[in-house]
Amino acid sequence: MSVVPAEVLPGSALAGDEEARRPAAELAPAARLWPALCAVYRAQLSRARVARIPLLFVATFQSVGIMIMMRGVVDGGGEARYVVAGSSVVVVAFVALNLLAQYFGQLRATGGLDHYATLPVPPAAVVLGAAGAYASFTLPGTFVTAVVGCLLFGLPLTHLWILFAVVPLAGAALAGLGAACGLLAPRPELATLLGQLGMSAALLLGVLPPDRMPALIRLARDLLPSTYGVEAYAHTFSAHPDWAAVAGDLAVCAGVGVISLAVATWAYRRAAVR
């Protein structure tokens, strides 16, 4: 008959004291922001490449359809500039605002945020990586829409390169708003509704010329960050663009982008700890 010491028996008081004195296992150190952001961006880009390309086609087709419809009532000049610039930025709003609001709303409702919360990834990396991946998909559709619009209304293609600045800056501002809507909405249906309303506002207030709008509607237009992307692109169609005004509009997009992404990061922390 063998004798077992009482302290090694599971559940004994001595064994419990021994486990209490044992130091807790340390978690892995948190990853730095930039490597974590790149990892989330690549993961989101790979996922979006499969699931979002059909939706990007829909966004581009929708914007081209709007321009064809407006071609029947707008001959050219300053009004055509806003139709082409507004339709191009609508592609950004559709993906960065509407789809991102839906994505974060579903992620929160299905518990997907718990997966990210267990990883040693900074909250800002999750928000910026997802927003950057969605905004990246808007670039081809925006260029296709802009080229078709310029050919349709006889506008110059000379300064098309400005879209390389308009898309990421307006996309960052709209993506931050979309992520914040998805993370703060109590239900995914409300996140989808907010994303749709934001995209509809960007469509109606961006495509129509501002001098045709009442003063109250023009004030609402000035509150939308996509408006400044539309203005920056529309300025470049003139024979002698006012580059100071273009830079000022892009600076507004950048400032709103920083604020909206900071709000989205705060909303992510708030949703992840609940």
- Quick check: 259 pLDDT over 90? yes
pLDDT digits (tens, 9 = 90+) for 52-104: 677 777 788 888 999 998 888 887 777 899 999 999 999 888 888 888 888 88
- Quick check: 8 pLDDT over 50? no
Token duo for residue 170 = 């307006």
pLDDT digits (tens, 9 = 90+) for 130-170: 878 777 778 888 999 999 999 999 999 999 999 999 988 89
- Quick check: 2 pLDDT over 50? no
Q: Which stretch, 131-140, 143-152, 204-213, 215-224, has highest mean pLDDT?
A: 143-152
More confident residue, 271 or 29: 271
pLDDT of 51 reads 65
pTM here?
Answer: 0.80
pLDDT of 238 reads 87
Mean pLDDT of 15-32: 57
- Rounded distance between C-alpha atoms, residue 22 and residue 214, angstroms: 71
- Rounded distance between C-alpha atoms, residue 259 and residue 98, angstroms: 18
pLDDT of 18 reads 56
pLDDT of 14 reads 47
What ranges make up the beta strands (E) of the chain?
none
More confident residue, 31 or 3: 31
- Rounded distance between C-alpha atoms, residue 204 and residue 142, angstroms: 17
Q: If pLDDT is split at 50, 70 and 90, which confidence band does 34 have?
A: confident
Token duo for residue 157 = 């293609």
Q: Which stretch, 33-37, 114-118, 187-191, 269-273, has highest mean pLDDT?
A: 187-191
Token duo for residue 103 = 């994505």
Mean pLDDT of 41-55: 72
pLDDT of 107 reads 83
pLDDT of 48 reads 64
Q: If pLDDT is split at 50, 70 and 90, which confidence band does 212 have?
A: confident
Percent of the chain scored above 90 by pLDDT? 23
pLDDT of 230 reads 93
The 8-class DSSP code of residue 95 comes to I
Q: If pLDDT is split at 50, 70 and 90, which confidence band does 26 have?
A: low
Residues 6+ apart with CB under 8 A from 268: 113, 123, 126, 127, 179, 183
- Quick check: 4 pLDDT over 50? no
